[in-house]
């Protein structure tokens, strides 16, 4: 090994140095769409907790609420109990398949327009641009030595970011308790430690990810960029550069003819407008989030030099190949991939609607007493004890009739019920509550043929006749 080799190895790092991306301000169709979607998404996020929904006396009046203390989830007319968490699982599955379907149709449209990381990063860049200026001004300020002007501008930017992050954290907490009451407690400094912790965590993540990590989240932290290409095909709409038209690229002088050369004037506007700093002319890359800002930037330059637009376009690779051959492009939205995703989405949606429309409003849990398993009474009959829990999932008191079947001569008695033993008994269950009853089931000795005999408890709603059957076992001495 020569002496020069260790020095060369020493200068090589394992990772590339992180370069701050300062995207240029552009105007155009895609930039306008991003602004409008930002307003809509942030408006929904911050205003949705204030929507009211009347659920009756004693019930939360907030339309969208995750009531952690009451262990309920509310979404307008839907009320989700802890044991119905499978509805949340179904919703997550639907969202995942919808993302795949969206990607098959329109590429990374979620990343470029709808992702919260993109939305807040755009908002943070807007604040930075408002205080400091456009790309060149921000680069110059970063390179300038620290002085009063730089300190003032950097301080104003950080203050703006902190205000946005605080609003993000506060907005998150409003979904977990009454929004009006929570907001009043926050501004009067009477909020609980849990509320302040949630604001700090969510707001802190917003501040760090949108303010400093930015494109690093898309490149390294988000797994979607790693497997996005598996969901694309030749008909998926993606950001593409028409190399056949743009190459060979070269700078253009005023009045210069474009005969014998490409339309790309190598102005690098597409690169400086990109929020992740990639060069789309090198092909589709993991860093491309599909925002279309490079298209707006390129179209602006094409207009200036009098060339046709869409040198960079939002189109499928099949259409790009067709235009290169002089053929008419044709966008295929209906194809095997999208049909499969549509079928899965429809199946999940139908299953969710069916489950919600047929959901039970009463649930029962039966626990057999274990100590002792059974007691033999003085007349020879056998008695078993049970804990019978009834969950009433509607907000009104209900009366139920309980009986037992499966063993001849079986009778039932609720502990504390003065009516005594009978073939059935009535139970009063308050609305929106779980009530536990202690039961005794007594069976004649002659009806017991084994140590464990199947027994069915039948609960009937006296108002609508709805029946819930619970299978359990009756313990005896055996034969």
Tokens in use for 302?
Answer: 């094409």
Q: What is the mean pLDDT of the chain?
A: 88
3-state secondary structure of 317: helix
Give me the CATH number covering residue 417. Answer: 2.60.40.10
Predicted pLDDT at 210: 95
| 366 within some domain | yes
SS3 per-residue string spanning 209-267: HHHHHCHHHHHHHCCHHHHHHHHCCCCCCEEEECHHHHCCCCCCCCCCCCCCCCCCCCC
Question: Which run of H or E residues covers position 46?
Answer: helix 29-47
| 457 within some domain | yes
Half-sphere exposure of 281 (CA within 13 A, CB side): 21
Task: For 107-129, write each residue's pLDDT tens digit.
Answer: 889 999 999 999 999 999 999 99
| 349 within some domain | no
- Number of neighbours of residue 156 by Cβ within 10 angstroms: 15
Domain of 466 in residue numbering reads as 362-475
| 24 within some domain | no
Instruction: Collect the ranges in the chain with pLDDT lower than 50.
Output: 1-11
| 404 within some domain | yes
The last residue of one of the domains, among 185, 201, 222, is 222
Task: For 277-329, write each residue's pLDDT tens digit.
Answer: 999 999 888 889 999 999 999 999 999 988 999 999 999 888 888 888 888 88
Predicted pLDDT at 7: 46
User: Model's pTM, two decimal places?
Assistant: 0.83
Contact 381, 413 (CB under 8 A): no
Tokens in use for 202?
Answer: 């969510």
| 159 within some domain | yes
Q: Cα separation of 212 and 209, whole Å?
A: 6
Predicted pLDDT at 117: 94
Tokens in use for 21?
Answer: 């991306």
The last residue of one of the domains, among 201, 222, 243, is 222
Predicted pLDDT at 329: 82
Question: Which run of H or E residues covers position 147?
Answer: none
Number of folded domains that form the chain = 2
The last residue of one of the domains, among 222, 239, 259, is 222
| 64 within some domain | yes
Predicted pLDDT at 15: 60
CA dihedral 293, 295, 297, 303 (to 10 degrees): -150
Predicted pLDDT at 287: 87
Whose structure tokens read 């919703």? 91
Tokens in use for 159?
Answer: 């203050």
Tokens in use for 40?
Answer: 């809509």
| 464 within some domain | yes
């Amino acid at each position: 090994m020569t002496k020069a080799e260790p020095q060369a190895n020493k200068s090589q790092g394992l990772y590339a140095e992180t370069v701050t991306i300062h995207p240029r301000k552009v105007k155009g169709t895609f930039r306008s769409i991003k602004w409008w979607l930002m307003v809509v998404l942030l408006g929904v996020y911050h205003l949705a907790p204030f929507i009211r929904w009347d659920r009756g006396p004693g019930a939360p009046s907030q339309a969208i609420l995750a009531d952690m203390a009451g262990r309920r989830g509310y979404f307008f007319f839907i009320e989700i109990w802890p044991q119905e968490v499978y509805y949340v699982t179904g919703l997550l599955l639907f969202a995942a398949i919808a993302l795949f379907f969206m990607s098959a149709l329109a590429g990374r449209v979620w990343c470029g327009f709808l992702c919260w990381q993109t939305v807040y990063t755009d908002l943070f860049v807007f604040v930075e641009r408002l205080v400091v200026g456009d790309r060149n001004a921000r680069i110059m300020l970063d390179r300038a030595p620290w002085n009063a002007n730089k300190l003032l501008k950097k301080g104003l930017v950080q203050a703006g970011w902190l205000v946005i992050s605080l609003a993000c954290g506060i907005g998150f907490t409003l979904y977990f308790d009454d929004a009006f009451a929570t907001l009043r407690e926050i501004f009067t400094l009477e909020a609980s430690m849990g509320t302040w912790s949630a604001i700090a965590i969510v707001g802190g993540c917003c501040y760090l990810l949108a303010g400093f990590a930015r494109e690093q989240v898309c490149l390294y932290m988000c797994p979607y960029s790693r497997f996005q290409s598996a969901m694309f095909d030749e008909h998926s709409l993606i950001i593409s550069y028409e190399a056949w038209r743009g190459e060979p690229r070269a700078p253009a002088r005023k009045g210069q003819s474009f005969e014998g050369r490409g339309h790309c004037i190598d102005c690098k506007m597409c690169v400086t407008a990109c929020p992740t700093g990639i060069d789309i002319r090198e092909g589709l890359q993991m860093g491309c989030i599909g925002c279309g800002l490079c298209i707006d930037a390129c179209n602006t330059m094409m207009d200036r030099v009098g060339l046709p637009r869409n040198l960079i376009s939002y189109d499928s690779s099949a259409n790009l190949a067709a235009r290169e051959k002089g053929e008419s492009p044709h966008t295929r939205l209906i194809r095997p991939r999208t049909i499969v995703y549509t079928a899965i989405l429809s199946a999940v949606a139908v299953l969710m609607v069916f489950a919600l429309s047929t959901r039970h409003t009463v649930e029962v849990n039966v626990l057999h007493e274990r100590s002792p398993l059974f007691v033999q009474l003085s007349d020879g009959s056998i008695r078993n004890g049970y804990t019978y829990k009834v969950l009433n999932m509607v907000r009104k008191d209900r009366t139920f009739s309980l009986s037992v079947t499966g063993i001849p001569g079986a009778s039932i008695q609720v502990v504390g019920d003065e009516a005594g033993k009978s073939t059935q008994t009535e139970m009063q269950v308050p609305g929106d509550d779980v009530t536990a009853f202690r039961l005794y089931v007594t069976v004649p000795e002659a009806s017991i043929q084994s140590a464990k005999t199947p027994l069915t408890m039948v609960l009937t709603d006296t108002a609508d006749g709805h029946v819930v059957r619970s299978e359990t076992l009756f313990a005896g001495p055996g034969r």
